[in-house]
Amino acid sequence: MLQKLTEKVNQISPELRKIISNIGWLFTDRLLRMGVGIIVTAWLARYLGTEQFGLYNFAIAFVTLFHTVATLGLDQIVVRNIVSDIEHKNTMLGTALTLRLSSGILLFLSANLAIFFLRPDDPLTRWVVGIIAGGLIFEAFNTIDLWFQSQVQSKYTVLAKNIGFILITTVRIILISIEAPLVSFAWAALAETGIFAISLTVAYHVSGQKLFDWKFDLDRGKTLLQESWPLILSGLAIMVYLKIDQVMLGQLADDAAVGIYSGATRISEVWYFVAIAIVNSVNPSILETRKVSESKFYQKLQKLFNLMAVLAYAIAIPVTFLSRWIVVVIFGAEYAAAGLVLSIHIWAALFVFFGWSKGIWIIAESQTLYSLVSTSAGAVLNIVLNFWLIPQYREVGAAIATVVSYGFTDYVLCFIYPPARRLALIMTESITLTFVVKRLFRRA
């Protein structure tokens, strides 16, 4: 038995071993952050109470809307370009860093201006948003991670992230213990972003690379922005229907409703790392396959979507039935109302997983304009549904709006757009678990 297992392991190709190792590092990172993070978040939620916890999450959601624009939609484009033209990696990375640093500073100022007009009589919210928004500048250094992604070497990013995570988690525990004010936790969030930027820079040098070799090229910058502008707008649209629910809850209901809703979504969204880790690891391999064979490319996509569907169902079904118990155990009786929200919102995972996987197809087939149109349509639908449902159903209405808009954007619209119909059929086979039935018939 052991000998057969050893033979099977030895038969695994070097490329697949690299991918599995990369996924392993990413999973280790997220499992650590998920386990420790949910404990500290629960402690923080109990300490702050629904209203202040809601305000804190409102601020994070608000800044996140700006964060998406700050990345300039360059992630997968830069990874793709490095994979295909590694000789010019220093120019590619240097240009991306400069563009992101510039956008980060501009958006930091924009976030502060926007919250001033949105909540002119709420100095606490303005302070919290302003502090957290400082992270938009440090986020530019995530460009270093794009190099590690292109080389399937996420272990360096994992180590860099966890240095900041462990340090700031300790700080948060101390802050809770001494009963620090809400603003202190905003400063901790900013510090974590800064520490991550420094750690990534050190990791890049430890891996044998030199940040000082990076160069900015104006023409390359123009080319990148010409290709990425639809992704900038579609990325904003994605974050609108990921985070606008909390912002609208804060404006149409109150911060307590945001607190209840955030308790549910913190549990629901903690699983999204599964899709991100897998997609980031297989992305270079699948993109390379597209150059060789279209049929093999779609075969790999089918396998990826099948895996995503199985994982989504494995998470959503048990959470649906145990939602209230999970919420009360983690956050306490004050958050019991979040149980119903969680039982609804957890089903968004299926479409979120599909959305991340679909991103590979969008880049490979140069369908960035479709990405812009579809996500914009989903964002508009989400806003309309929130305006309709939140006043009457509060946090439950926001959860319904989220799931419906995700499904519409990442699945339904693929049937309407002809080039994406093949992808829609792939998703349908995955959603209906047809591939499982086929395997059972083959064995029979």
**Alpha-carbon span 83 to 150, nearest angstrom:** 6
Burial class (CB in 10 A: 0-12, 13-18, 19+), 435: middle
The residues, ordered by sequence, that sit 6+ positions from 87 with a Cβ below 8 Å of its Cβ are none
| Residue 212 pLDDT level (bands cut at 50, 70, 90) | confident
> Mean pLDDT, to the nearest integer, of 47-62?
92
pLDDT of 4 above 70: no
Q: How many CB atoms lie within 10 A of CB 344?
A: 21
> Mean pLDDT, to the nearest integer, of 328-354?
93
> Mean pLDDT, to the nearest integer, of 38-53?
90
> Mean pLDDT, to the nearest integer, of 213-228?
81
Of the candidates 404, 410, 401, the residue with the CA atom closest to the CA atom of residue 431 = 410
Give residue 223's pLDDT. Answer: 82
| Residue 72 pLDDT level (bands cut at 50, 70, 90) | confident
| Residue 111 pLDDT level (bands cut at 50, 70, 90) | very high
**Alpha-carbon span 34 to 29, nearest angstrom:** 8
CA atoms within 13 A on the CB side of 199: 19
pLDDT of 83 above 90: no
Per-residue pLDDT reduced to its tens digit, 278-296? 887 787 788 888 888 888 8
pLDDT of 110 above 90: yes
- Give the best-scoring range by mean pLDDT among 80-94, 126-140, 155-169, 218-232: 126-140
Element (H, E) at 333: none
Report which residue type is found at 30.
R
What stretches of 119-253 show up as alpha helix (H) in DSSP? 123-133, 135-138, 143-150, 154-177, 182-206, 218-252
Longest dimension (CA), the chain: 70
Q: What angle do CA 327, 305, 428 make, to 5 degrees?
A: 95
pLDDT of 178 above 90: yes
Give residue 258's pLDDT. Answer: 92
Of the candidates 238, 125, 230, the residue with the CA atom closest to the CA atom of residue 182 = 125
Give residue 23's pLDDT. Answer: 62
pLDDT of 16 above 70: no
Average pLDDT over the chain, rounded to whole? 84
| Residue 306 pLDDT level (bands cut at 50, 70, 90) | very high
- Give the best-scoring range by mean pLDDT among 18-27, 211-220, 263-272, 419-428: 419-428
Q: Which residue has the higher pLDDT, 61 or 368?
A: 61
pLDDT of 2 above 60: no
CA atoms within 13 A on the CB side of 237: 25
